[in-house]
Amino acid sequence: MKKAASQKVKQNPWTWIPSLYFIQGLPYIMVMSVAVTMYKTLEISNTEIALYTSWLYLPWVIKPIWSPFVDLVKTTRWWTWLMQVVIGGALAAVALTLPMASFLQYSLAFFWLVAFSSATHDIAADGFYMKALSDSNQAFFLGIRSSFYRVAMLTGQGAIVYIAGYLYEDMGMQYDYAWMWAFLALGGLILTGGLYHMFLLPKVEEEKQEDYTAKDIVKGLQDTFVTFFSKKGIWLSIAFLLTFRLGEAQLVKLNIPFMLDEFAKGGLNMTAKEQGIIYGTIGMVALTLGGILGGIALSKKGLKAWIMWMVLAINLPNGVYVLLSAFLPDTLQLAGLTDFLNLFDTFFEGVGFTSEPTRLFFISIGIATEQFFYGFGFAGYLMYMIYISQGQFKTSHYALCTGFMAMGMMLPGMASGYIQEMVGYTSFFIWVLVSALPCLLVTPLLKVDPNFGKKTA
């Protein structure tokens, strides 16, 4: 097969890594989390929300099947900006379905298109990242990468949810039209990102001619799977990938309904706008700091030194939801803090908080804690996937890793709504904490090169 020569262009990673992973995170958070908030405000039940939105993980689970096609045809750079354009259009299509009578069926159909395009984008963007950077730079920018990815997630959970809440509460729109305009704005943003990356992503690959046959694709798929499953200790690695986010897989489907549910149901009785403000300000700052610190820590001491600590970091802070669910649905007043908490309330009242200051203070502290340690711990998970993807088929192998990650999110998430409605919020969040045990048992058995990820002098 012939390749047309193309000159590789060196470009400062700061000009494309933040924007690339910000755009990569947006469709994922819209499908996996903001859709949860949207359907909750549109009065869909917790069981239905968890089940339907968990099914949307499927494209990420099965994306290794078409990863060789992405690896062989065109370049990862081309696939990256093209999928961003498709995602932007698909999100605009979701927006247009929301005022319809059968909005649930139609919006889920277009969410599937967003999910499929986003999964394909992940294959290309992650492969591009590994091809464009050295191992040490991959470790250094991992914190930046994961932070901007999570900033995108908090932009969805924060800014997009706030916009919808503002249009509903302050502008008098019905929620279907409020969400429609929020999704249209996001679709336009991602389309703009696609055009930016069309011109700004560095050219680090040779251009490929489109002369691949179906036999080439099948052989590429076969080689990908054979070489991946031949790796030493791969089954233990897969167990780690499946269990690392076991607690989070269940938590992310119910933490937003928990915040929006009324007191009588054990929720925090927040508005969508309040939830968006806290996630988009306090949560965003905490998560960014945690992600950057995680990347720096990995580049200094390597993955092996930090992996267990990062497993603890991503799981134990989920306990804040146990405390929030146990105490905050009832009125809570603490002697000696009244003046301070009133100042806290005054700080936010200009943007529309209606809840009492004590509750807002502890909700914000809880979210900040969980988000900071999530950002720190998730950097280790990303680095481990890079570690076991090394070799000839690194793009496809990384896609396989993220497929197992998505499976570990999809299956537990499908049942989470049923479990929560059966046992209540507090018992459910205790179960989320207990779900960390399998990964804690697997992690000490992993074999990791002590020097992997360390930044060399």
Structure tokens given for 304:
């092996």
CA 442 to each of CA 241, 310, 445: distance values in angstroms, whole numbers, following the listed order: 10, 13, 6
The answer to whether 393 and 223 are in contact (CB under 8 A) is: yes
pLDDT value at position 3? Answer: 42
Cα separation, 345 vs 358, in Å, equals: 8
Cα separation, 28 vs 50, in Å, equals: 15
Structure tokens given for 297:
């820590």
CATH number of 19-202+218-445: 1.20.1250.20
pLDDT value at position 7? Answer: 40
pLDDT value at position 377? Answer: 92
pLDDT value at position 308? Answer: 95
- How would you write the pLDDT of the chain (457 residues) with one tens digit per residue? 444 333 444 678 888 889 999 999 999 989 988 999 999 999 898 889 998 999 998 998 888 787 777 877 788 889 999 999 999 999 999 999 999 988 999 999 999 999 999 999 988 998 888 787 776 677 677 768 877 887 787 788 888 998 999 999 889 899 999 999 999 999 999 999 999 998 888 887 766 555 666 676 677 778 878 888 999 899 999 999 999 999 999 998 898 899 888 888 888 888 888 888 887 778 878 888 898 898 888 888 889 999 999 999 999 999 999 988 887 655 444 444 455 555 555 555 554 444 566 677 788 889 899 989 998 998 899 889 989 888 777 777 888 898 899 899 988 988 898 999 899 999 999 999 999 999 999 999 999 888 887 766 5
**Helix locations, 42-174, DSSP H:** 46-55, 58-62, 67-72, 76-97, 103-132, 135-155, 161-169
Of 397, 168, 188, the closest CA to residue 275 belongs to 168
pLDDT value at position 129? Answer: 86
The answer to whether 183 and 99 are in contact (CB under 8 A) is: no
Cα separation, 436 vs 375, in Å, equals: 17
Give residue limits of the domains in the chain: 19-202+218-445
The answer to whether 252 and 111 are in contact (CB under 8 A) is: no
Cβ count near 451 (within 10 Å): 11
**Helix locations, 302-446, DSSP H:** 303-315, 319-327, 338-349, 357-388, 394-423, 425-434, 437-442
DSSP for residue 160: I
The answer to whether 182 and 163 are in contact (CB under 8 A) is: yes
How would you label 178-192 residue by residue, b for 16+ Cβ within 10 Å and e otherwise? bbbbbbbebbebbbe
- Residue 122: Cβ-neighbour burial (10 angstroms; 0-12, 13-18, 19+): buried
Cα separation, 225 vs 215, in Å, equals: 15
Four-point Cα dihedral 8, 13, 17, 18, nearest 10: -150
Sequence-ordered list of residues with C-beta below 8 angstroms from that of 72, at least 6 positions apart, any chain: 208, 212, 216, 217, 220
- CA 381-161-333 angle, 5° bins: 90
